[in-house]
């Protein structure tokens, strides 16, 4: 593949549930570049059915329902973004490193299996950054740094 084709290839990313909420529930300004990347197709968002189930569960939390109601945003609209942009993958095999929070393991496993970028704000995941880098997984890079890495 040519360098130009490599620069055009979508970046494989795994987004944990809090990041998905930042994108489409909280409209977090720091997540705008990532949202644009997902919506434009320059990101290949990898997910599993279990990740969607977790999102469904989290969207029913009282504090999230309150935010959705305030924004007049139905939970189904957030799920619609998931369904439109996430590329469902089979559950990944267990990664060589285990997260202390079992709920976060599925994100780590998928990122390792696909050598994908992992976006998370969870402290139990963030503390694994160096171990995940050994598996080829970058943690939370900015979109601009990923564009530069692809161009190199």
One-character DSSP codes across 45-69: EEE-HHHHHHHHHHHTSHHHHHHHH
Question: pLDDT at position 9, please?
Answer: 85
Beta partners for residue 139, in sequence order: 118
For the segment 28-55, the average pLDDT, to the nearest whole number, is 95
Give pLDDT tens digits for 5-16: 455 789 999 999
Q: Where are the beta strands (DSSP E) in 72-145?
A: 86-88, 117-119
**Per-residue pLDDT at 152:** 38
In three-state secondary structure terms, 92 is coil
How far is 19 from 121, CA to CA, in rounded Å? 7
Q: Which residue has the tokens 């139990």?
A: 124
**pTM score, two decimals?**
0.86
Q: What is the CATH number of the domain that holds 69?
A: 3.40.50.1010
- Tokens in use for 77? 């609209």
What average pLDDT does the structure give for the chain? 89
Domain that holds residue 131: 3-151
Q: Of the given ranges (12-21, 69-78, 106-115, 122-131), which has the lowest mean pLDDT?
A: 122-131
Predicted pLDDT at 140: 85
Any idea which of 3-7, 36-40, 41-45 has the lowest mean pLDDT? 3-7
Domain count, the chain: 1
Q: What is the phi/psi pair of residue 105, to 5°? A: -60, -35
């Amino acid at each position: 593949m040519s360098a130009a084709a490599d620069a055009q290839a979508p970046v494989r990313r795994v987004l944990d549930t809090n990041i998905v909420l930042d994108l489409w529930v909280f409209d977090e300004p720091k997540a705008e570049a990532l949202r644009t990347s997902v919506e434009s197709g320059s990101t290949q968002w990898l997910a599993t059915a279990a990740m969607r189930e977790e999102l469904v569960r989290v969207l029913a939390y009282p504090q999230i329902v309150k935010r959705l109601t305030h924004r007049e945003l139905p939970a189904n609209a957030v799920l619609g973004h998931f369904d439109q942009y996430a590329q469902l993958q089979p559950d990944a095999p267990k990664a060589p490193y285990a997260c202390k929070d079992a709920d976060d393991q599925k994100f780590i496993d998928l990122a390792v299996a696909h050598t994908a970028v992992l976006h998370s704000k969870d402290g139990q995941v963030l503390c694994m950054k160096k171990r995940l880098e050994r598996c080829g997984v970058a943690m939370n890079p900015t979109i601009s740094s990923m564009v530069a890495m692809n161009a190199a």
